[in-house]
Amino acid sequence: MELNKKSIIGVVGAGAMGSGIAQVAATAGHQVVLFDLSTETLERSKKSLAKIMARLIEKGRVTDAEAKSIQERITYARDLQAFDQSHLIIEAIIENLQVKKDLFAKLEDIVSAETVLASNTSSLSIASISGELKKPERVMGVHFFNPAPLMPLVEIVPSLISNKNVSTQVFELVKSWGKKVVLAKDTPGFIVNRVARPFYSEAIKMYEEGFADIATIDWAMSELGGFRMGPFQLMDLIGHDVNYVVTETVWTEMYFDPRYKPSITQKRLKEANWFGRKSGKGFYDYSENASQPTPDMDEVKGKAIFERILFLLINEAVDAKFLGIASVEDIETAMTKGVNYPKGLIAWGEELGFQNVLNGLNALQERYGDDRYRPSVLLKDWVKEGR
Ligand SMILES: NC(=O)c1ccc[n+]([C@@H]2O[C@H](COP(=O)([O-])OP(=O)(O)OC[C@H]3O[C@@H](n4cnc5c(N)ncnc54)[C@H](O)[C@@H]3O)[C@@H](O)[C@H]2O)c1
């Protein structure tokens, strides 16, 4: 079976991601079946799509007729049996291995032998989700970013067992939806959630050590570094419940490699339910009339903050290439399209000089005596080769 425009797309879970993915597929012209255990969630998802469509009509992005047919193409289902005609099913339910495994096992008994199954998981391995299924070769990761209709990146993650032809078809199909699609190895955090870790953790480390306050670090990264948001602003937006758990999962899955070590400061925010914007308080206070910290706009300190974080990010990108997580081109696309970095990290390293990046990491490693700053073997090789 070939996946094409006529393929029926199933989406399991009508939360933030599932609703967005259903919108993307319906906008691309597919019939979509959207399932959730909760009727209330399905109703919320339907209402929210109607609101989004009304806004798009207002902005002149879609016509009344287009908006109507996009909405009509989505069927809201409360019975898994509704997936019996689907050609590709993307799962976006809670991030829990056992729950996902149970869901896929149930789906296998409902769908046709050729239906492709995909998971939108951020942190679980695709092999762990699919390994015990009857036909694990038809399962892969299809990792969208939040909000799915707006963020262009999708990481396609075949597992060890995935059929190559099937993953190529899914790759091409998602690309035809107007997405920037990259191929990632089934490893913790795939590309973006692995390479981006130092943006958060090194910022928190500098804050914990009293080197700079949150406003100064955010200022350095956005004003001097050109990032759209500073790390503390971004963590508050993502939510510490989500961001901390991703860091902790990547770290544990990497056998506690110090490069990915989470921070107690962020763990405490999560434990206190200070999730950030959504709870009204995180690193910053979002209550009305709350006073906001102001940055100490010291250019020398700002440059030191920016370079320290950037050197670690470049090191992660180079190491992802070294370990075959993805191609250089896909690593660059992932970081510019998935998290809006102003430049591809490897190109940025080239611009700064890999020798300077290596010197920076070596100095940090010597000062801290910590493997956290361990330079990638490939970075050292590139410097040796005079790159
Ligand atoms: N939120 C993000 O930024 C983001 C980004 C990329 C990937 N993801 C991944 O996408 C998945 C969903 O995340 P989300 O943020 O949309 O979560 P969410 O909590 O907004 O939505 C999850 C939905 O799944 C439903 N659900 C739970 N168990 C179910 C089951 N057994 N069968 C059917 N429906 C079930 C819930 O009712 C809920 O509506 C997770 O695997 C997450 O890791 C999230």
Residue with the smallest CA separation from ligand 1 atom 6 is 145
| CA of 103 relative to ligand 1 center, distance in Å | 13
- Does 1 have pLDDT greater than 80? no
376 to each of 48, 151, 256, 381, how far by Cα in Å?
A: 45, 29, 17, 9
Nearest-atom number in ligand 1 for the CA of 96 is 41
- Give the pLDDT band of residue 333 (cuts 50, 70, 90): very high
| First CA to last CA distance, the chain | 46
Residue with the smallest CA separation from ligand 1 atom 12 is 92
| CA of 15 relative to ligand 1 center, distance in Å | 5
Is cis: bond before 147, omega within 30 of 0? yes
Mean pLDDT of the chain: 97
- Does 201 have pLDDT greater than 90? yes
pTM: 0.96
Rounded Cα distance between 78 and 383, Å, is: 57
| CA of 238 relative to ligand 1 center, distance in Å | 15
The set of protein residues with a Cβ atom below 6 angstroms from ligand 1 is 12-18, 36-38, 41, 92-95, 99, 103, 120-122, 144-146
- Give the residue, out of 17, 39, 123, 277, with the most ligand 1 atoms within 8 A of its beta carbon, to mutate for a pocket test: 17
- Does 123 have pLDDT greater than 90? no
The predicted structure's pLDDT at residue 304:
98
Residue 64 near residue 38, CB atoms below 8 Å: no
Nearest-atom number in ligand 1 for the CA of 99 is 31
Q: Which of 134, 154, 136 is nearest to 92 (CA)?
A: 154
- Does 290 have pLDDT greater than 80? yes
- Give the pLDDT band of residue 222 (cuts 50, 70, 90): very high
Average pLDDT of span 193-210: 98
Local structure of 32: helix, strand or coil: strand
Rounded Cα distance between 178 and 186, Å, is: 24
Across the chain, where does the E strand assignment appear?
A: 9-12, 32-35, 74-77, 88-91, 116-119, 139-144, 153-158, 180-183
Note the pLDDT tens digit of each residue in 51-84. 999 999 999 999 999 999 999 999 999 999 999 9
- Give the residue, out of 36, 81, 91, 94, with the most ligand 1 atoms within 8 A of its beta carbon, to mutate for a pocket test: 94
- Does 100 have pLDDT greater than 90? yes
Tracing tokens 């998802």 back to the chain, one arrives at 45
| CA of 378 relative to ligand 1 center, distance in Å | 37
| CA of 147 relative to ligand 1 center, distance in Å | 13
Average pLDDT of span 131-145: 98
